[in-house]
Amino acid sequence: MTLARGGVTRVGNCRRSGVCHRALADEVALTILADMRAAGTEALERVGSSPEDAWVGYVQRLVELDLGALSATLAEFVTDEISESVRDAQAQTLAGVEELLDAVRSAGIVRPDLDALELVLAIGLITRPLPDAIRAVTPDLAPRLVSIVLAGMRPS
């Protein structure tokens, strides 16, 4: 189980029990944002020697974090009421994503008009939970969409 799935399960259990606390939602969000920053730091360390591998590995790590499931669940709890700590962590995380994007743009791997928020939202959309019936007939949808998105991020 990925950390995001574990956090989503905890938030879901909290919701079902009727005792949901903003602190739990913050904890889950802060953990995922920290994981995203760690993935970005690791990718930046690798980008000098192998920019393509660093970039693809980073995008795959974001997919593994299940950003879509996290955002879908947390939206119910933090809409318009994101805590300052989560807001700060989001800003730090997006700055790190932008730093990595700058590095892979310089390596000629990513088009210049992609920004950090668009990347994170795209991965979130790809990994949003789907009904079981849809997943059953499209079991490879997320990996296929990731490869399509990666190809579309390349400069023309």
pLDDT digits (tens, 9 = 90+) for 123-155: 999 988 889 999 899 999 999 999 999 999 999
Contacting residues for 129 by C-beta, under 8 A, at least 6 apart: 68, 69, 72
Which residue from 56, 22, 37 is spatially nearest to 150, judged by alpha carbons? 56
pTM of this prediction?
Answer: 0.80
Q: What is the pLDDT of residue 60?
A: 95
Residues 59, 123: contact at Cβ < 8 Å? yes
**pLDDT exceeds 60 at position 48:** yes
59-90 as b/e, with b when 16 or more CB fall inside 10 Å?
A: bebbbebbbbbbbebbeebbeeebeeebeebb
Q: Which two tokens stand for residue 9?
A: 């399960």
- Residues in the chain, overall count: 156
pLDDT in tens, 22-47: 777 788 889 999 999 999 999 999 99
**pLDDT exceeds 90 at position 56:** yes
Q: Where are the alpha helices (DSSP H) in the chain?
A: 3-17, 22-47, 51-64, 67-78, 84-106, 116-126, 132-137, 141-153
